Every structure is written in C-alpha cells, then in structure tokens.
Amino acid sequence: MQPEVCLELLIWGHALGLKVGLETSGCRPIPEGFDRVFLDIKTSLESWLYNSYTQDNKAFDNVVQNLERLDPNVTEIRYVVHESDPPIIDPFSPIIDMGFSIRLLKGDQTSQDYFTNFQNSVISDLNLKLEKGVLKKTLDEAARLQKSISHLKEIECATGRY
C-alpha cells in the first residue's frame, strides 16, 4: 500500500461526495477516514507464523495495530480458504473477541467439499467455545459471536458461492 496515494484518493473521494473503501492485507498502517475497510488476514494471529507467512517482519504488528484502531461496524475481516495451505490453529477467536465478524472466501483451487468442511469446522469450534465460555462471556460479546457464526452460515445460503 502507498499511504500517500491512499490518503489522496480518500480526500478526493470524500470531496466528490463518494464513500471510500479500502481492501488491504493490513500489513501496513491503514490511514484513518475510510468509510469501509476490507481486511484480508493471511493466517493465525501469531507473530512468528504471520511474519513467516507474509515474509514481512512488521506484518503481524501492523495487522494487530490496525485491528485495534478499526471500527468493527465498518470493517469486514476476510479469510481466503486455500486447500494447499497448512492447517491453521484458531485464527478467529482473537478477531471475534475484538468485535469483528469474519467472511470466509473460497480460494480458486479449493474444492467445494474442502471449503464446506472448513466452514463447518470453524462454526462448530466457535459454537463450542461460546458454550464453554472460552470466549468473552458478556451477553453483548456472546451476541457478537453468534452474529459472526450466523454471518458465516448466511454467506452460503445467500450466495450459493464464495
């Protein structure tokens, strides 16, 4: 991402009365002021794994800082499921704990069966953590988690594709 160009597009877009969004990996600091942000996480939010996966020693810190600054109401967190990727360990709990919902997207070379199994596994894992109280326990936070789980299910029902 080129922050100067990004900021200029943001200013001009708003000057023209447009809503301005940004699609990003979040590996660089995100300028404030976007009306919508689509952040594509790459793997579990563990420093060593994220930096290794992106081959960028600042990627993890920047993603975490961006997540801490972003508003969950105008941010969509995306994760592209690739059959060729190594299995990830619980990439979503920290993000859901921060109030974000997650959209799973099917990678180009990923079979529908693999994607469906992955999606069902994520939904089961989140439901189990909610029931056992592993995730945050307040009613608002439980409702947010349930919204994220529902969101994962709605994608399949509403679009039939990912």
CATH number, domain with residue 136: 3.80.30
pLDDT tens digits, one per residue of 107-116: 888 899 988 8
- pTM score of the predicted model: 0.74
Angle formed at CA 41 by CA 149 and CA 125, multiple of 5 degrees? 30
Sites in the chain below the pLDDT cut of 50 = 137-138, 156-162
Position 47 scores a pLDDT of 84
Q: 129: domain range?
A: 3-159
Position 157 scores a pLDDT of 44
What is the count of structural domains for the chain? 1
pLDDT tens digits, one per residue of 23-55: 998 888 888 899 999 999 888 788 888 888 889
